[in-house]
């Protein structure tokens, strides 16, 4: 059992992880979207469910929105969120479901379709004004499937032009955060496939444009913590989308596939000054196909908290000394000692000292909330992909 120092506990107390509204809706695979009892039917019920995560963990005070899935009266939604003890956060655009976007949106050759996609982002910025949100996050399902299908360079030029127009519409305190993904749904080339492309695009925009790193959006074997280090070094890491992957963009509970990778990423976050840095947003981006949604989110934020605690235990002085001496095994041992430290009992005691449940998963299960929403939310259309 480890003892967490007051300094470490102070850092953990400040940690905040943004939840995605869509994680509380139905999701599935490309073969089927599965429904579950109690699934929210509108953004207000999504917010109520997200608030349960924060209630049991004190880790999730902000909820991200997806437009148009979460369209509603945003003044009412903002008050509703405040009443439930949370705030509205990142606004995520959607240019991947309209028929017009089959061959691209912000990169489309047809100026009319491209303007439609730009106008959608203008509407998202209007939502940001209404909700008080800072970040507009853009993920583009754009590219091509076959060699010769498109002029890749022309698509990059059109993308930059579109982003320039969107960037110019941002308010003084708002940011554009560009996500990348190495493949899917396009297979030959993706218009923003990697951190370098995202960085090149946002660097040309200005100081209010940043890169979003989704931990599931890389090729197998990619050293994600190196990318984290580099973007922090360059001052361009705007946000994380935490999830986990075995094969591709699996969107599973963060830390499920490779807890050690999550530990290594969080070490570089700490090393680079990204922990509890308001310029770097921690956020989940995952879906729960077979597990209950609220417990899935609770488990996720607890996994991030646990690996953050372990990363904070790394003896930085001993590590630096071993690195300077080129003592390979000693340096690795410092890392492994921290990773193998079981911080769960110390975190449970600390939660209790703050008036939180020692075991948030068990506390939620015993609360009866899941049974109440299953009984109350009968009728209507459950939220899911596209709603």
Distance CA 35, CA 352 (A): 35
pLDDT per residue of the chain (387 residues) written in tens, 0 to 9: 468 999 999 999 999 999 999 999 998 877 888 888 999 999 999 999 999 999 999 999 999 999 999 999 999 999 999 999 999 999 999 999 999 999 999 999 999 999 999 999 999 999 999 999 999 999 999 999 999 999 999 999 999 999 999 999 999 999 999 999 999 999 999 999 999 999 999 999 999 999 999 999 999 999 999 999 999 999 999 999 999 999 989 999 999 999 999 999 999 999 999 999 999 999 999 989 889 999 999 999 999 999 999 999 999 999 999 999 999 999 999 999 999 999 999 999 999 999 999 999 999 999 999 999 999 999 998 988 765
Retrieve residue 271's tokens: 């090393």
Is the residue at 387 inside a domain?
A: no
Distance CA 2, CA 6 (A): 13
Q: What are phi and psi of 136, to 5 degrees?
A: -105, 115
Q: Provide the pairing of β-strand 189-190 with 209-214.
A: unpaired
Surface-to-core class of residue 148, CB atoms within 10 Å of its CB (0-12 exposed, 13-18 middle, 19+ buried): exposed
Contact call for residues 52 and 369 (beta carbons, < 8 A): yes
Distance CA 366, CA 363 (A): 5
Retrieve residue 339's tokens: 């990773």
Q: What are phi and psi of 88, to 5 degrees?
A: -90, 140
Distance CA 141, CA 180 (A): 10
Is the residue at 326 inside a domain?
A: no
Query: Which residues on adjacent β-strands are paired with residue 135?
Result: 175
**DSSP letter (8 states) at residue 144:** E
> What sign has the CA pseudo-torsion 162, 242, 297, 306?
negative
Is the residue at 200 inside a domain?
A: yes
Q: What is the 3-state secondary structure (H, E, C) of 47-93?
A: HHHHHHHHHHHCCCCEEEEECCCCCCCHHHHHHHHHHCCCEEEEEEC
Is the residue at 384 inside a domain?
A: no
Is the residue at 248 inside a domain?
A: yes
- Residue 188: CB atoms within 10 Å: 14
Contact call for residues 51 and 367 (beta carbons, < 8 A): no
Is the residue at 340 inside a domain?
A: no
Is the residue at 164 inside a domain?
A: yes
Is the residue at 385 inside a domain?
A: no
Number of domains in the chain: 1
Structural domain span for residue 24: 15-315+356-376
Strands (E), 60-201: 62-66, 87-92, 135-138, 143-144, 175-179, 189-190
- pTM of this structure: 0.96
CATH of the domain at 264: 3.20.20.150
Listed in sequence order, the residues at least 6 apart from 283 whose beta carbon sits closer than 8 Å to its beta carbon are 17, 18, 19, 20, 64, 89, 90, 239, 240, 241, 242
Retrieve residue 215's tokens: 């931990």
């Amino acid at each position: 059992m480890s003892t967490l120092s007051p300094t470490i506990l102070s850092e953990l107390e400040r940690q905040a992880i943004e939840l995605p509204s869509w994680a509380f809706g139905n999701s599935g695979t490309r073969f089927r979207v599965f429904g579950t009892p109690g699934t929210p039917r509108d953004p207000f019920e999504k917010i109520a469910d997200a608030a349960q995560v924060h209630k049991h963990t004190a880790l999730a005070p902000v909820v991200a929105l997806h437009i148009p899935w979460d369209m509603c009266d945003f003044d009412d939604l903002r008050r509703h969120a405040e009443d439930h003890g949370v705030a509205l956060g990142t606004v995520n655009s959607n240019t991947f479901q309209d028929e017009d976007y089959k061959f691209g949106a912000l990169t489309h050759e047809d100026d009319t379709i491209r303007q439609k996609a730009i106008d959608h982002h203008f509407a998202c910025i209007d939502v940001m004004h209404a909700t008080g949100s800072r970040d507009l996050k853009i993920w583009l399902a754009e590219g091509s499937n076959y060699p010769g299908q498109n002029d890749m360079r022309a698509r990059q030029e059109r993308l930059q032009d579109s982003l320039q127009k969107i960037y110019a519409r941002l308010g003084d305190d708002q940011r554009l955060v560009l996500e990348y993904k190495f493949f899917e749904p396009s297979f030959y080339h993706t218009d923003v496939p990697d951190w370098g492309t995202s960085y090149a695009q946002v660097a040309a925009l200005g100081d209010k444009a940043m890169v979003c790193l989704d931990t599931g959006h890389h090729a197998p074997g990619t050293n994600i913590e190196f990318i984290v280090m580099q973007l922090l070094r360059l001052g361009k890491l705007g946000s994380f989308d935490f999830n986990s992957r075995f094969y591709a963009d699996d969107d599973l509970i963060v830390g499920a596939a490779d807890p050690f990778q999550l530990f290594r990423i969080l070490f570089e976050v700490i090393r680079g000054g990204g922990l509890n840095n308001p310029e770097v947003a921690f956020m989940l981006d995952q879906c729960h196909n077979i597990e209950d949604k609220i417990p899935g989110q609770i488990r996720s934020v607890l996994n991030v908290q646990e690996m953050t605690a372990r990363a904070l235990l790394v003896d930085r002085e001993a590590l630096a000394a071993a690195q300077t001496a080129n003592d390979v095994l000693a340096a690795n041992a410092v890392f492994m000692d921290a990773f193998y430290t079981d911080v769960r009992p110390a975190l449970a005691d600390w939660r209790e000292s703050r008036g939180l449940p020692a075991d948030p998963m068990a506390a939620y299960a015993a609360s009866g909330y899941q049974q109440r929403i299953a009984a109350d939310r009968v009728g209507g259309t459950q939220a899911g992909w596209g709603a």
